[in-house]
Amino acid sequence: MNRQRILIIAPAWVGDLVISLSFINALKKIHKDSEIDLLVNDNLLDIAKYFSDVSNVIATHTKHGKLSLLYRISLGLKLRKKNYHYCYILTNSLKSSIIPFIAGIKHRISYLGEFRYGLVNRIIRKIDRKEGMANRYLNLINHRYKPEFRPNLASKINNTNILDKYDIKEKYIVFCPDAEYGPAKKWPIKKWIDLANSIHDDYQVVFVGIDGSITASTHKIKSHNYINLIGKTSLEDALIILSQSTCVVSNDSGLMHVAAALNRPVVGIYGSSSPEYTPPLIEKDKKVIMYEDLSCSPCFKRICPLEHMNCLENISVNSVRQSISKLIQ
């Protein structure tokens, strides 16, 4: 009997990709002998290569939001040779469904998304956002999230030399002040600086991410026991740094979900997003969710439509500091 060949069109964001690992884990349990390939943006290869249930990771070289029609047609034609039986499209966009259509994959399974009639030929009814992103993916195979499907990258990472490379000490707490989605998910910079000043000198504070806007304020950190690696690491190096940390404090961002998949204690700070929709997928005793359940939240906007950012402003430095203490005691 021929092995089933399955292609998955991966999400384009770091956090969504990590959450989708729960779907991949479940799919592999259902189809134990299948060959599962993952089509992923090349900027996410540093994470995707650690997905052990994936047979082949195929990189795409498209920019986020760009149609790149000729490139997608060309890649689809190349993938015809793979003779995939199924394709699960984990994204909503019209352009993401072009490749499996051109590749001639018989079963193309997803939500309708951006008017993808014909491109998707097995349309699944959407579930409520409150059921969570993991369940949104798992619903494509009629499953619900279980702890056994939890994304787990912890056993895959093994490189202690990175700490020496960046002069990181043995005991450290990682701060992730980024949120690529937009400012409505970013705890204010001043609060990050005040939090760094409240951390005991026994722990080094390591800033990780890509948004350098906090760099101009790090001189206000009184302790010398910190290191700013914003914009200075590859995604894979950031992965390794997170994997060996004592605790991670992060906005609801890709690195927060990476930290959870690495089984690190996480303090997750939520603004315009919802901890019901994108929670860190980790045991309850290893996470603390900071979320102000205001009448206007979650709005899921990139920029606060009310221009007050109370969902983030109301989260105090002291409450986050206490949450760190709870996780590392």
What secondary structure letter does DSSP report for 41? E
Is the pLDDT confidence value at 57 over 70?
yes
Helix, strand, coil % in the chain, rounded to nearest 5: 40, 15, 45
pLDDT of residue 160: 67
Domain boundaries, given as residue ranges, for the chain: 5-151, 155-328
Cα-based distances in Å from 229 to 212, 235, 265, 266: 9, 12, 20, 19
pLDDT tens digits for range 268-307:
999 999 999 999 999 999 999 999 999 999 999 999 999 9
| Rounded Cα distance, 82 and 275, in Å | 39
Pick the CATH number of 5-151 from 3.40.50.2000, 1.10.287.130, 3.40.605.10, 3.40.50.300: 3.40.50.2000
What is the average pLDDT value for the chain, to the nearest integer? 94
Domain 155-328 listed as CATH 3.40.50.2000: yes
pLDDT of residue 127: 86
Residue 168 structure tokens: 């990181």
Strands 226-228 and 247-251, sheet pairing:
unpaired
Cα-based distances in Å from 301 to 208, 267, 286: 24, 22, 28
Q: Is 175 exposed, middle or buried (CB count within 10 Å of its CB: 0-12, 13-18, 19+)?
A: buried
Is the pLDDT confidence value at 1 over 60?
no
Cα-based distances in Å from 111 to 11, 40, 139, 250, 288: 13, 19, 10, 30, 32
- Short-list 174, 291, 157, 269, CA closest to 226: 174
Q: Would you place residue 187 in the very low, low, confident or very high pLDDT band (cuts 50, 70, 90)? A: very high
Q: Would you place residue 167 in the very low, low, confident or very high pLDDT band (cuts 50, 70, 90)? A: very high
**Sequence-separated (6 or more) residues with CB below 8 Å from residue 322:** none
Is the pLDDT confidence value at 64 over 80?
no
| Rounded Cα distance, 212 and 41, in Å | 23
Residue 92 structure tokens: 């909503």
| Rounded Cα distance, 109 and 86, in Å | 8
Is the pLDDT confidence value at 9 over 80?
yes
Is the pLDDT confidence value at 111 over 90?
yes
Q: What angle do CA 22, 177, 211 make, to 5 degrees?
A: 100
175 bridge partner residues: 207, 249
| Rounded Cα distance, 136 and 141, in Å | 10
- Same fold for the pair 5-151 and 155-328: yes
Cα-based distances in Å from 260 to 14, 108, 192, 264, 285: 13, 30, 20, 6, 12
Query: Average pLDDT, stretch 200-207?
Result: 92
Q: How far is CA 279 from the centre of its chain?
A: 10
The CA-to-CA distance between both ends of the chain, in Å, stands at: 54
